[in-house]
């Protein structure tokens, strides 16, 4: 199988360290409900997990939930509820949406608030090794002390310090934080602000920064080097760039992940779909009008790596495809054990080519039409088996 590695900007033969593929995908910050952009990321990775399993690999899949951070605390204040109650409620809603879309649950679904001591251990070690420093109860990673910092940023076209700082500032960096030695330094441990949740640490009461939680969880549950690290495209920098720096300097081992995979942004009305812009297509709303299979097909009709814009006709088209698969189901029933090695081979070739799900779906649709026309039950059984690999429930 070939997968596109963001870090090398090339298609690489995928060879896991062991037969059980170790995968970490950055999860959600639970302060708002799941939109189509989230669903695109998690359904795409779900298709990858299912395909790896169908190909005979084992999979250990870890995802985090950032259950304490600035957004959770701010939103909870706005709503007049406790931050942990908001986190629990939104995590539950996210999991319900994912269950509805037939996304397999990760093997470990880990909360940031349950990683405090592994995080403290990594932060302490980074200070000892000279990559991080304490300042007024906060701890920062010092980018100037890391000559390798920014390899991932380079790969996606951020060629120098100024280019990195500009994007970091757009994505949550506070360049004017006077406790930092350098505007691009990022927080590993944040000192408690009045009224905020906090945990004991060698630097006083505080809470973890965002980037460090993913390093801590990936290392804790998967080991010092993993096979696949994924997430939304906007995480490549700064989030994953920071993860690489922390993880590799803590473990002394590189690469932290053999492959880095990023999903394209989903646009609506010409804008990136995001909470802050308010132009969200919520999964829970879509599920009122469309089946989970139709939503999955809509998502998988777009290659995971590219941005796309969601239009209503996409969903209608997907509905038509699902109807075709359902007609095959009616024809074939549930008992047929038939096979079609030619169709199987073409499906595998599409999926092995950087998880080309749009091509795989077209193959299956064409095969399904021919099955209906010719009452070809063997190929029909194969079509249904392969729609199952894509997580459809027809
Ligand atoms: Zn992450």
Q: What is the pLDDT of residues 173-193, one digit of tens each?
A: 999 999 999 999 999 999 999
71 band by pLDDT with thresholds 50, 70 and 90: confident
Residue 259: per-residue pLDDT? 98
CB 379 within 8 A of CB 323: no
Determine the angle formed by the axes of helices 116-128 and 210-222, rounding to 10 degrees. 100
Instruction: Give the integer Cα–Cα distance in Å for 253 and 337.
Output: 47
Report the separation in Å between the CA atom of 247 and the middle of ligand 1, taken as the mean of its atom positions. 12
Cα dihedral 363/369/374/379 (nearest 10): 40
Report the separation in Å between the CA atom of 246 and the middle of ligand 1, taken as the mean of its atom positions. 12
Report the separation in Å between the CA atom of 53 and the middle of ligand 1, taken as the mean of its atom positions. 24
Report whether pLDDT(275) > 70: no
Q: Are strands 108-111 and 271-272 parallel, antiparallel or unpaired?
A: unpaired
212 band by pLDDT with thresholds 50, 70 and 90: very high
Residue 30: per-residue pLDDT? 83
Instruction: Give the integer Cα–Cα distance in Å for 37 and 266.
Output: 5
Instruction: Give the integer Cα–Cα distance in Å for 164 and 166.
Output: 6
Residue 157 structure tokens: 């076209």
Report the separation in Å between the CA atom of 179 and the middle of ligand 1, taken as the mean of its atom positions. 24
Q: What is the pLDDT of residues 296-328, one digit of tens each?
A: 999 999 999 999 998 878 899 999 999 999 999
Report the separation in Å between the CA atom of 195 and the middle of ligand 1, taken as the mean of its atom positions. 26
Report whether pLDDT(273) > 80: no
- The H or E element containing residue 271 is strand 271-272
**Pick from 183, 179, 187: nearest CA to 164:** 183
Report the separation in Å between the CA atom of 322 and the middle of ligand 1, taken as the mean of its atom positions. 34
Report the separation in Å between the CA atom of 25 and the middle of ligand 1, taken as the mean of its atom positions. 7
Mean pLDDT across the stretch 269-273? 68
Q: Are strands 20-25 and 58-65 parallel, antiparallel or unpaired?
A: parallel
For 187-208, b/e burial (b = at least 16 CB within 10 A) is: bbbbbeeeeebebebebeebbb
**CA 87, 108, 308 angle in degrees (round to 5)?**
70
Report the separation in Å between the CA atom of 210 and the middle of ligand 1, taken as the mean of its atom positions. 8
Report the separation in Å between the CA atom of 339 and the middle of ligand 1, taken as the mean of its atom positions. 41
Q: Return the bridge partners of 111, or none.
A: 65
- Average per-residue pLDDT for the chain: 94
Report the separation in Å between the CA atom of 335 and the middle of ligand 1, taken as the mean of its atom positions. 43
Longest dimension (CA), the chain: 74
**Pick from 69, 189, 178, 209: nearest CA to 138:** 189
Report whether pLDDT(43) > 70: yes
- The structure tokens 């037969």 sit at 19
Lowest mean pLDDT among 48-57, 207-216, 308-317, 343-352: 308-317
Residue 16 structure tokens: 């896991």
Instruction: Give the integer Cα–Cα distance in Å for 323 and 293.
Output: 10
Q: Could you tell me the end-to-end alpha-carbon distance of the chain, in angstroms, rounded to an integer? A: 27
Report the separation in Å between the CA atom of 26 and the middle of ligand 1, taken as the mean of its atom positions. 4
Instruction: Give the integer Cα–Cα distance in Å for 330 and 324.
Output: 10
**Pick from 238, 193, 243: nearest CA to 68:** 193
Report the separation in Å between the CA atom of 105 and the middle of ligand 1, taken as the mean of its atom positions. 17
Report the separation in Å between the CA atom of 342 and the middle of ligand 1, taken as the mean of its atom positions. 40
Report the separation in Å between the CA atom of 309 and the middle of ligand 1, taken as the mean of its atom positions. 25
Report the separation in Å between the CA atom of 227 and the middle of ligand 1, taken as the mean of its atom positions. 15
Report the separation in Å between the CA atom of 334 and the middle of ligand 1, taken as the mean of its atom positions. 40
Residue 204: per-residue pLDDT? 97
99 band by pLDDT with thresholds 50, 70 and 90: very high
Residue 269: per-residue pLDDT? 67
């Amino acid at each position: 199988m070939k997968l596109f590695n963001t870090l090398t900007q090339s298609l690489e033969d995928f060879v896991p360290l062991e037969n059980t593929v170790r995968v970490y995908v950055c999860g959600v910050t639970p302060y708002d409900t799941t939109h189509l952009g989230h669903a695109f990321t998690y359904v795409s990775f779900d298709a990858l997990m299912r395909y790896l399993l169908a190909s005979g690999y084992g999979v250990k899949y870890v995802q985090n939930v950032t259950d304490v951070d600035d957004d959770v605390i701010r939103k909870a204040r706005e709503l007049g509820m406790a931050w942990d109650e908001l986190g629990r409620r939104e995590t539950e809603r996210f999991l319900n949406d994912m269950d509805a879309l037939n996304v397999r649950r990760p093997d470990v679904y880990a909360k940031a608030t349950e990683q405090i001591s592994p995080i403290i251990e990594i932060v302490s070690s980074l200070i000892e090794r000279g990559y991080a420093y304490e300042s007024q109860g906060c701890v920062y990673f010092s980018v100037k002390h890391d000559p390798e910092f920014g390899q991932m940023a380079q790969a996606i076209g951020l060629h120098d310090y100024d280019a990195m700082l500009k994007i970091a500032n757009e994505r949550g960096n506070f360049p004017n934080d006077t406790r930092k030695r350098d505007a691009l330094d990022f927080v590993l441990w944040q000192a408690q602000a009045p009224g905020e949740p906090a945990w004991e640490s060698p630097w006083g009461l505080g809470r973890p920064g965002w980037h460090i939680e993913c390093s801590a969880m990936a290392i804790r549950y998967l080991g010092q080097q993993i096979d696949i690290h994924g997430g939304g495209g906007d995480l490549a920098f700064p989030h994953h760039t920071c993860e690489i720096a922390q993880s590799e300097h803590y473990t002394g081992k590189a690469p932290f992940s053999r492959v880095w995979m990023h999903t394209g942004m989903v646009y609506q009305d010409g804008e990136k779909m995001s909470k802050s812009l308010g132009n969200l297509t919520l999964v829970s709303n879509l599920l009122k009008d469309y089946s989970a299979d139709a939503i999955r097909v809509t998502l998988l009709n777009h290659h995971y790596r590219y941005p796309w814009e969601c239009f209503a006709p996409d969903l209608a088209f997907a509905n038509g495809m699902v109807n075709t698969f359902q007609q095959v189901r009616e024809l074939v029933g549930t008992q047929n054990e038939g096979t079609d090695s030619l169709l199987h081979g073409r499906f595998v070739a599409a999926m092995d080519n950087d998880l080309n799900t749009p091509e795989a779906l077209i193959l299956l649709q064409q095969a399904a039409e021919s099955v209906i026309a010719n009452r070809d039950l063997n190929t029909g059984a194969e079509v249904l088996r392969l729609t199952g690999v894509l997580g459809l429930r027809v």
